[in-house]
């Protein structure tokens, strides 16, 4: 697979300096093209070919994640992503205090590159889904003022954090409810969880960002992340268009489903929660 | 909002909310700006920010902690809270 690197340009923060250094070194290591975020933002057509031919390694400096957000608007295939502030925190190293990287900063960048390159052969963060799930057909409807919230019935369970789940053959598909989708309005970014990572019920399964808010996805089940919806990663607006169907987010290999279900509610119970939440606003 | 419940348990019985470590907090107010649920309130004096409405916090949400540079926000242990919710539900069911 050919890969290009889209990185934070990072001119005003040490995290950015590390991101930039990492991008240059990674591009050399894998002979990949570097995509300049500034030029991409100004003139996306310039990179049309590169984006069509490559999957992206997206490198963000800090949690503002400019590079990821640029990628989300492009229908690009994101294969890997690195968030420098997180990686540095996890490694126990200290961020450089200046924008010019000293020997320690350069070593840190190289260590992250080595790790990244080593892991490139592992399964991608967002693999394709099993697609054993049919589109929902039956809905309950909750009306509030001029709003209408549709809640899928058959096979769907919910947690009170506005996340749905449906399971078949030991695999669960997870997404957010129509109510939450409307509350967030235009969703512009899906920060998806790493492939193969494990999650507990009520643990975090990544987050969504809209023009209005950031929403932490609270997992309705326990398991291993099997895939994230690549269509949604490339085009987060799909969540607004079809939250219960094509706008699903993550698939999990279930490991504790019988117990998980005790803590979930069905469509009619969730409808009551939506009524209450809508009335409280 | 005293009747508010989470998973059938009265919200005020679930101790889920952020705690500010005042040794680390620099009162940048990022968390307060970020959270839409009016959990935090700004005050005069030494502690310019307090957790004024802990029960407004969305159970299991930890989102504001990611906006905090000095890592001054902490939350309870999730498995313990889940166990507590289960226990209260079981007690209610047994009544
Ligand atoms: S955890 Fe979520 S709901 Fe609670 S204070 Fe932070 S942002 Fe607000
Ligand atoms: S984000 Fe952190 S440092 Fe800033 S006010 Fe909140 S708790 Fe304090």
- The CATH number assigned to the domain holding A153 equals 2.40.50.100
Whether residue A112 is found in the same domain as residue A145: no
Q: Does A214 touch chain B (CB under 8 A)?
A: yes
Q: Is residue A128 part of a domain?
A: no
Q: Is residue A126 part of a domain?
A: no
Instruction: Please work out, in degrees rounded to the nearest 5, the angle formed at the alpha carbon of residue A142 by the alpha carbons of A137 and A143.
Output: 125
ipTM score of complex: 0.87
Residue of B nearest to A265 (CA): B7
Considering A60, A89, A121, which residue would you say is the last residue of a domain?
A: A121
Whether residue A269 is found in the same domain as residue A240: yes
Considering A66, A92, A121, which residue would you say is the last residue of a domain?
A: A121
Q: What is the per-residue pLDDT across A211-233, written as a single tens digit (0 to 9) for each? A: 888 899 999 999 999 999 988 98
- The CATH number assigned to the domain holding A69 equals 3.40.50
Whether residue A100 is found in the same domain as residue A202: no
pTM confidence score:
0.79
Whether residue A149 is found in the same domain as residue A218: yes
Whether residue A202 is found in the same domain as residue A264: yes
Whether residue A201 is found in the same domain as residue A85: no
Q: Which residue has the higher pLDDT, B68 or A94?
A: B68
Look at residue A167 and give its three-state secondary structure: strand
Q: Does A168 touch chain B (CB under 8 A)?
A: no
Contacts of A8 (CB under 8 A, 6+ apart): A15, A16, A19, A20, A37, A59, A60, A61, A62, A66, A67, A84
Whether residue A116 is found in the same domain as residue A180: no
Can you give the residue range of the structural domain that contains A98? 3-121
B74 pLDDT band, cuts 50/70/90, is very high
What's the structural domain count of chain A?
2
Q: What is the DSSP string of A190-203?
A: EEPPPTT-EE-TTS
- Nearest CA to A221 out of A184, A175, A177, A182 is that of A175
Percent of chain B with pLDDT over 90: 76
B45 Rama class: left (phi>0) / alpha (psi -120 to 50) / beta: left
Buried b (16+ CB within 10 A) or exposed e, A185-223: eebbbbbbbebeeebbbbbbbbbbbbeeebbbbbbbbbb
H or E stretch at A72: helix A66-72
Q: Which residue has the higher pLDDT, A207 or A118?
A: A207
pLDDT at position B2: 44
Whether residue A97 is found in the same domain as residue A227: no
Whether residue A104 is found in the same domain as residue A195: no
pLDDT at position A127: 52
CATH level 3 topology of B5-94: Alpha-Beta Plaits (3.30.70)
Whether residue A151 is found in the same domain as residue A241: yes
State the distance from the centre of ligand 2 to the C-alpha of B47, rounded, in angstroms. 11
| Residue owning tokens 């929660």 | A273
Contacting residues of A for B14, CB less than 8 Å apart: none
Q: Is residue A156 part of a domain?
A: yes
Q: What is the per-residue pLDDT across B56-67, written as a single tens digit (0 to 9) for each? A: 999 999 999 988
| Residue owning tokens 């009265």 | B10
Q: What is the per-residue pLDDT across B21-33, written as a single tens digit (0 to 9) for each? A: 999 999 999 999 9
State the distance from the centre of ligand 1 to the C-alpha of A25, rounded, in angstroms. 38
**Angstrom distance (rounded) from CA A174 to CA A244:** 9
């Amino acid at each position: 697979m050919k890969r290009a690197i889209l990185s934070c340009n990072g001119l005003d923060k040490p995290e950015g300096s590390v991101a930039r250094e990492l991008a240059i070194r990674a591009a050399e290591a894998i002979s990949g093209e570097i995509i300049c975020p500034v030029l991409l933002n100004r003139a996306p057509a310039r990179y049309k070919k590169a984006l069509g031919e490559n999957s992206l390694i997206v490198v963000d400096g800090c949690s503002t994640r400019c590079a990821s957000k640029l990628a989300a608007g492009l229908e690009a295939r994101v294969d890997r992503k690195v968030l420098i502030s997180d990686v540095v925190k996890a490694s126990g190293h200290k961020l450089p205090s200046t924008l010019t990287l000293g020997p320690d900063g350069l070593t840190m960048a190289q260590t992250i590159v080595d790790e990244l390159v080593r892991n490139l052969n592992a399964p991608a963060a967002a693999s394709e889904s099993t697609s054993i799930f049919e589109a929902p057909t039956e809905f309950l409807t909750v009306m509030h003022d001029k709003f209408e919230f549709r809640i899928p019935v058959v096979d769907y369970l919910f947690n009170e954090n506005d996340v749905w789940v449906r399971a078949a053959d030991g695999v669960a598909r997870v997404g957010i409810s129509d109510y939450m989708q409307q509350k967030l309005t235009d969703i512009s970014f899906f920060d998806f969880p790493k492939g193969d990572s494990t999650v507990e019920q009520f643990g975090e399964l990544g987050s969504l960002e809209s023009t209005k808010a950031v929403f932490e996805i609270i997992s309705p089940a326990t398991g291993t992340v099997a895939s994230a919806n690549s269509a949604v990663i490339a085009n987060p607006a799909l969540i607004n268009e079809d939250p219960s169907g094509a706008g699903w987010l993550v698939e999990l290999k279930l490991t504790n489903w019988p117990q998980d279900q005790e803590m979930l509610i069905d469509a009619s119970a969730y409808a009551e929660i939506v009524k209450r939440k809508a009335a409280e606003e | 909002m005293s009747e508010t419940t989470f998973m059938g348990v009265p919200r005020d019985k679930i101790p889920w909310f952020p705690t500010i470590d005042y040794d680390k907090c620099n009162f940048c107010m990022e968390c307060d700006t970020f959270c839409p649920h009016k959990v935090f309130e700004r005050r005069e004096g030494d502690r310019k920010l307090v957790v004024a409405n802990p029960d407004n916090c969305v159970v299991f949400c930890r989102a504001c902690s990611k906006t905090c540079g000095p890592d001054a926000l902490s939350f309870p242990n999730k498995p313990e809270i889940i166990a507590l919710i289960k226990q209260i539900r079981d007690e209610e069911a047994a009544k």
